[in-house]
Structure 1
């Protein structure tokens, strides 16, 4: 329970931009290793790849996730790690690598269905890669799909204040704006 709490707290700190997140997530990686818990290790390394300021260290964290996922049934983490690999490759100008990783992530997402994580991130990464490749129409289609996922989740939130806060969360707001443009006041 302690290890899971460390991982969860590290992920919350990472989302909040806390400087302690990296240290806590590294600790969760170590705990997962001691426990032989591949899923915990992979989730911690993946979260660490998001907060690590050094691109090479972030890429190393993603490689660790992919190695842990190999043959382990952790398909959802593999999909998310491939998307993160594509993000890092794209930001480094390695468009070919980004194309391959994002294509593979979307193919796996389609094959296995939804993942335990932000499917919309996988689609947005692929859309960005397609945009870099000059395939803007295909990218726009994926962006619209990602926006649909966010809006669908929002519609299931019955409390109007919580729904509004969900949609105002920066990542969600950016996806919706990119996918459908500014929302009408009457929409969720």
Structure 2
């Protein structure tokens, strides 16, 4: 008597189909993992380059910080200082710079003078700032480049008083901000070096 044929056996064709399915799934999975790795590496690289670009456009002060008083009221109406970028670094666009002024009672974002460059500086008590002189600047624009110097005047809307501590923060669009903190004392005469 003949044995009946069993249909439950695992044939070579079925094994091949299962093997191909495993290979395809493994290939898709490895593609996804590799793609994710490449994406993460690219993003890490972008973050590093962005950090380097921000760190290399640092503004630095040059010389002292001076206060200019109004001859009639005796109030400090302008704060003058100079700044530059480090040699070999990128330029800073002063058309996109934000200047923040604070003291014990005032927190104020100073508005840019409409011309940005104004040889007279900003107007007293106007709540503005302006570049009033450009030294070694190759072009008459708002770009502070390596080797150049911008002289800036800041005019808070509420002038500081004697024994006040003032703080200016000059924030470029990209890069590290320049912080200037000085004490206002002995306001006698017209121009005072602030310490």
TM-score (norm 1): 0.24
Higher relative contact order (CA 8 A, sep 6+): 2
Higher gyration radius (CA): 2
Higher helix share: 1
TM-score (norm 2): 0.23
Higher strand share: 2
